[in-house]
Amino acid sequence: MSLTLAQIRTFERIAKLGSFRGAARQLGLTQPSVSQRIRELEDTLGAELFTRRGPGISLTAEGTALVAYADRLLGTADEMVERFRAHDPLKGLLRLGLNETFGLVCLPDLLRHLEEQYPALMTSVQVGDTGTVSRMLNEQQLDLAVVSEPDVADHVRREAIGINELAWFASAAFGSPRSVLAPAELATHHLMVTPPPSRLYTTATQWFARAGVVPSRLSMCNSVSVTSLTITRGLAIGLVPVRVMQEQLAHGSVRRLAVSPPMPGHRVSICFQVSEFGPSMQRLVELVRELVLRHKLFT
C-alpha cells in the first residue's frame, strides 16, 4: 500500500482540528472515509498516529513527528499546483540558463533582486555554452536563459540584448614585435579557448581557418574564469569576452592584443518559454535587461 496526498491531508486536518468529525466536515467526506484513510496511512507507515480516548483523540509521539513532514509535503504540493496553474516560473523553482559572461558579472545582482521581490523563490542555475543552454531550452528544462547565438525551437521566444565583444588577451609581460597581429603570427603562440562545441571555439577556429592557418598549440578549458586566470599568469593567450577581463585590464595585469582581421562578437539573447510568458516573466526579462545596461555587459 502506498502513501497518498489524500491520506496526508486528512491526517493534517485531524491533527489541526483535533477531531475526525471536524476533518470529515471540512474535507467533504464521511467520517468512515476519514477513518479508512487514517487506517491505510498507519498501515503504510507501520505506526499508530492517534490515541483514542472515548470521544477525544490525541497525537502519539509518531503522530507528532509526522505533523512537520505533512506540513512540508502539503506546502510543496500546494506550491506545485499554484506554479503550474498560473504558468508562473517565479512561483516555486525558477530554472535559469546563463552564458558565463552574464553569470560572472550580473548573476549576484539578479539573485539579490529576486530574493528581495520573491523571498520564497528557489533557483536552479545552469552556466553553460550555447549548445548546452539551447538544448535545455528546447527540452523545456529551463524557464529563462541568457545565451549567445541561441539555436532554439518555436516554443522558445528570443529577444536580442546586445553583442558580447571578444578579444585575444595576454599577460602584461607578453612582448610582440608587431602592434597588430595577423592570425599566422598569433598561431605560433600557446593559445587557449573553450572546447567544442562551444560557440567561442567555433569563432576562434573559423577566424584562423579563413586565413588558412592552423594554431600550433591550442589548449582548451571550459571555464572562462579559469582561462582568464591562465592568461593573467602568462601561461597562454586566450580568447575571452572583453567584459570578463575588465578588472584585469584596469589593474594592468593583462593586455588586449590588437589583431587583424578583428574578432567578431557574439549576438546575445534573452530566451524564455512562450507558454510561461505573463506579467511575472515580463518583469524578469525587464530586470535582466536593466542589469545588462547597468553593468555595460554587451555592446
pLDDT of residue 263: 96
Eight-class DSSP state of 17 = H
Fold of 5-86: Arc Repressor Mutant, subunit A (1.10.10)
Rounded Cα distance, 82 and 137, in Å: 22
Q: Beta partners for 180? A: 258
Quote the distance between the C-alpha of residue 88 and its chain's center.
Answer: 16
Return per-residue pLDDT of the chain as tens, 299 residues: 688 999 999 999 999 998 898 999 999 999 999 999 999 999 999 999 999 876 678 999 999 999 999 988 888 777 777 666 656 677 778 999 999 999 999 999 999 999 998 888 889 999 998 999 999 999 999 999 999 999 999 999 999 999 999 999 999 999 877 789 999 999 999 999 999 988 999 999 999 999 999 999 999 999 999 999 999 999 999 999 999 999 999 999 999 999 999 999 999 999 999 988 888 889 999 999 999 999 999 99
- 13, 40, 79, 165, 261 from 25: Cα distances, Å: 10, 20, 25, 65, 78
What are the start and end residues of each CATH 3.40.190.10 domain in the chain? 93-163+266-294, 166-259
Produce one character per residue of 172-183: b if its CB has 16 or more CB atoms within 10 Å, e if not: eeeeeeeeebeb
Q: What is the CATH number of domain 93-163+266-294?
A: 3.40.190.10
pLDDT at residue 83 in the model:
64
161: left (phi over 0), alpha (psi -120 to 50) or beta: alpha
Number of Cβ atoms within 10 Å of the Cβ of 32: 10
Position 43 scores a pLDDT of 92
Provide Rg for the chain, Cα atoms: 28
Domain 166-259 has CATH 3.40.190.10: yes
For 197-230, the three-class secondary structure string (H helix, E strand, C coil) is CCHHHHHHHHHHHHCCCCCCEEEECCCHHHHHHH
Q: How many angstroms separate the Cα of 275 from the Cα of each of 86, 152, 157, 278?
A: 11, 14, 9, 9
Tell me the CA distances in angstroms from 51 to 32, 65, 90, 230, one per residue in order: 17, 14, 42, 67
pLDDT of residue 147: 95
Rounded Cα distance between 145 and 127, Å, is 9
pLDDT for position 87: 63
Q: Is the peptide bond before 197 cis (omega within 30 degrees of 0)?
A: yes
